[in-house]
Amino acid sequence: MTSLAIIFLLVSGPQNSLADTALKGERLFKDEDENIPWEITAKSLTYNEKEQSYIATGDVFIKKKDQTLHAQNVVYNIKTGIAEASGDVRLEAHGDVLTGQKGSFDLRKQTGKITNGCLFLKENHFYISGDVMEKVGEKSYLVSRCRVTTCDGDNPDWTITGSEVKVTIEGYGTVKHASFRVRGLPMFYMPYIIFPAKTKRQTGLLPPRLGYSDRRGAEYTQPFFWAINESSDATFYLHHMSRRGEKLGMEYRYILENNTKGTLMYDYLDDRKVDDGTPESIDWAYRDDNALRSNSNRYWFRMKNDQEMPFDFSAKLDLDIVSDQDYLHEFKDGYTGFDETEKYFVKNFGRGFDDYNDQVRINRLNLNRIWSQFSLNAEARWYDDVINRRQGESDQTLYYLPLIEFDGSKQPIFETPLYYNLDSEYRYSYKREGTITHRADIWPRAYLPLKLKNYLSFEPSIGVRETVWRIDEFESSSEDRTLNREIYDLKGELSTYIFKVYNANFGGVKRIKNTITPKIVYSYIPDVDQDNYPERIEKENLLTYSITSTFISKSLAKNAETEDEISIYDYHEFCRLKLEQSYDINKEKGDDPEPFLPIYGEIQINPGSYFSIRADAEWTQYENNFLNHSVRANLWDNRGDKLYVEHRYNRDSIESVNTSIKTDLYLKVTNRLAAYSDYEYNFLEDEKISSTLGFVYRSQCWSIDINYTDEDNDKQYAFMINLYGLGGFGTSH
């Protein structure tokens, strides 16, 4: 939102007459509302009793708080309440600056006029100048022969000129006979412009978006913003697509407190195109799922809500209901597209949605309470299988209504050396065409931490798990059944901790601490007959050994000047390495020739400046090959150049291979010109997923962005100009 304001100094006349005076710091005028006096300083200050006027000359300053009027000459008439200022008139208030050759201010009516004036608004870096600038009401201003820009300098890159500008603060501004100019040259003319002139939210039209697409045709999106009240607002969208129809959208947002807020969004389209399997619809089909999309009524309803509850409970609601499996793919971009929606909810609620390609969408209502050592989560969760719902197929979706978890963190048992934690869960699950199940599971675990002097730590533990099912409408039996299972598990952890501190003196680092943590973990779950149970806990007899090494730097905090006992230090883990492998004793006893599980390794390097790397991999020594590996690297510099590279390789159990590479590059060619690109390639399909190449040029008050995108057999060219302070416009096709 653009905010324009013109601020005039308003004072009331003095209560007492003064004789001829030449002084500094004399208090003359008082503010009637706050009863705070204005202070005036001048080289010469006199009083004309006949004219009932104060005359101040020579570097006149009239001040109160952060408001200052400066001029070479000021004449204030007590009888009329008019102050005349001339000679380098400069009015500063709250960082905004108004300058002119001369001005006349009616202090009683709170109106005024300044000639050859220029107003600078600090908040949005606006310059407004005109032959005559008038304050015609309490919040209304009129500027004749005006010029508006956000560019510095006497010859700005762009301006909007007009015969007249009228502005109402917290309302709207209008420009008559507006001309957009580049370096003084007129580019296009508009007889009338309306713009918002406010510091608060205001109902009105938002900037539209124009575009062209092979699938959608010519596009025009017009948002309308409704400021309902101080705690809520809404936005309505009209998205015209010449080939597809009119898509209507709305958003409703409210914030009552920091932890009580919600957003609801809904879009609807009566699509002219369907995917019904006919040759005519082949151009509109997405064949990733081999399912048709025969519906023309298309929609997406999504909502997230955070609510504070009594007794320190909190509630969260997530809804994600879409008409068909192709909708989110079709409308991935734009004001109400999946990408913008995902960014908004992650930023404001800390959680997003399932991937736009997922046909099963999660909906949930969560109630949460956290104590110092316990936590409670109660959740109603249901999964919407879009294809099954649309195709009318058998619904095997599992619903949890509810799912309740009560957990306890590791804590001592009274005054004994023993510790315990607790995992417990109850869930009521059902399928619309299948079983209805009550399941209760409780799993306490007891620990006995032991120390061998300061060299070794050994912690044996035992867990006892009890699970009870009540199964109604069991598929293989006409009778309801109740089942229960008891099973225990054993675990023992043996570890040590080795470290050494090295003195350092580079880049502000004082010391570096290297830690090495070897660990051996034995875990055992007995082999129990579980053929009659709905789910299994697999037997386990595993020995896992690992070694982890970290490097931590210690440096003096930026706000600390000397290294002493009260100094504040910054600690930063800049390197971490881990190797881990497991040995399956059950496989060894069963004469399995491959009892060793794959070796897992990871490394993270993050020195804090210029680059960071994270890599992980699984290696099988029996095949002398990788099962999977990935590398993610970020590089940057002080100029603003950035490079992100990610490579992934995965080989699943059926020996299919999936490997891809993704890069993002942002390169500053000069201080104003930058190039950027991203590229993603799938080696399994031997095809490019997407690529983008673009250039952006940024000036002090405007920028231009040109890019080309090739994605999903759809080529797009985009061109956008952004005028800082006014917004942007452009097209894409």
Number of CB atoms found within 10 A of residue 324's CB: 27
Mean pLDDT of 25-31: 42
Whether the pLDDT of residue 26 is over 50: the answer is no
Residues 6+ apart with CB under 8 A from 692: 676, 677, 678, 679, 707, 708, 709, 710
Q: How confident is the model at residue 559 (pLDDT cuts 50, 70, 90)?
A: low
Mean pLDDT of 148-168: 85
Helix (H, G, I), strand (E, B) or coil at 506: strand
Task: Quote the pLDDT of residue 120.
Answer: 82
Whether the pLDDT of residue 218 is over 50: the answer is yes
Whether the pLDDT of residue 212 is over 80: the answer is no
Question: Which of 432, 434, 428 is closest to 389 using CA atoms?
Answer: 432
Whether the pLDDT of residue 643 is over 80: the answer is yes
How far apart (Å, rounded) are the C-alpha atoms in residues 303 and 262?
A: 7
Which pair of tokens denotes residue 225?
């913003």
Mean pLDDT of 281-292: 76
End-to-end CA distance of the chain: 27
Strands 450-452 and 217-229: unpaired
Write out the H or E segment, with its range, that includes residue 249.
strand 245-257
Mean pLDDT of 711-733: 63
Burial code (b: 16+ CB inside 10 Å, e: under 16) for 294-318 equals: ebeebbbebbbbbbeeeeeeeebeb
Mean pLDDT of 667-681: 93
Mean pLDDT of 14-36: 40
Whether the pLDDT of residue 439 is over 80: the answer is yes
Number of H helices, E strands in the chain: 4, 43
Higher local confidence (pLDDT), 656 or 393? 393
222 in Cβ contact with 205 (< 8 Å): yes
Residues 6+ apart with CB under 8 A from 46: 20, 21, 22, 54, 55
Domain boundaries, the chain: 26-201, 203-393
Task: Quote the pLDDT of residue 642.
Answer: 95
Whether the pLDDT of residue 307 is over 60: the answer is yes
* DSSP 8-state secondary structure symbol assigned to residue 279: G
Task: Quote the pLDDT of residue 725.
Answer: 65
Matching residue, tokens 């031997």: 686
Whether the pLDDT of residue 224 is over 70: the answer is yes
Write out the H or E segment, with its range, that includes residue 389.
helix 386-391
Task: Quote the pLDDT of residue 170.
Answer: 58
Backbone dihedral angles phi then psi of residue 370, each to the nearest 5 degrees:
-120, 125
378 in Cβ contact with 364 (< 8 Å): no
Instruction: Tell me how far CA of residue 54 lies from CA of 19, 44, 597, in angstroms.
Output: 10, 10, 95
Whether the pLDDT of residue 718 is over 60: the answer is yes
Whether the pLDDT of residue 43 is over 50: the answer is yes
Kindly report, residue by residue over 357-379, the tens digit of the pLDDT. Answer: 898 999 999 999 999 999 999 99
Lowest-confidence range among 500-509, 674-683, 705-714? 705-714
> Sign of torsion, CA 99 105 107 110?
negative
Task: Quote the pLDDT of residue 20.
Answer: 31
Matching residue, tokens 């040029």: 697
Mean pLDDT of 62-79: 82
Whether the pLDDT of residue 553 is over 50: the answer is yes
> Is there a cis peptide before residue 595, judged by omega within 30 degrees of 0?
no
Which residue blocks in 552-629 are alpha helix, DSSP H?
Answer: 585-589
Mean pLDDT of 246-256: 95
Q: How confident is the model at residue 136 (pLDDT cuts 50, 70, 90)?
A: confident
Sequence-distant contacts of 83-86: CB under 8 A, at least 24 apart: 83/11, 83/107, 85/60
How far apart (Å, rounded) are the C-alpha atoms in residues 211 and 241?
A: 9
Whether the pLDDT of residue 64 is over 90: the answer is no
Residues 6+ apart with CB under 8 A from 80: 106
Task: Quote the pLDDT of residue 45.
Answer: 86
Whether the pLDDT of residue 24 is over 50: the answer is no
Q: Which span out of 214-218, 465-469, 722-726 was modeled with the highest average pLDDT?
A: 465-469
Which pair of tokens denotes residue 31?
């503010």
Mean pLDDT of 350-356: 93
Mean pLDDT of 180-189: 84
Average pLDDT across the chain, whole number: 84
Mean pLDDT of 668-688: 88
Stated length of the chain: 733
Mean pLDDT of 150-167: 86
How far apart (Å, rounded) are the C-alpha atoms in residues 254 and 474?
A: 45
- Side-chain-side CA neighbours of residue 246 (13 Å): 4
330 in Cβ contact with 357 (< 8 Å): no
Q: What CATH superfamily classification does 26-201 receive?
A: Lipopolysaccharide (LPS) transport protein A like domain (2.60.450.10)
445 in Cβ contact with 421 (< 8 Å): yes
Strands 111-121 and 126-135: antiparallel
Higher local confidence (pLDDT), 447 or 38? 447
Mean pLDDT of 283-304: 86
Kindly report, residue by residue over 313-328, the tens digit of the pLDDT. Answer: 999 999 999 999 999 9
Question: Which of 242, 234, 253, 255 is closest to 214 using CA atoms?
Answer: 242
Q: How confident is the model at residue 38 (pLDDT cuts 50, 70, 90)?
A: low
Mean pLDDT of 670-679: 93
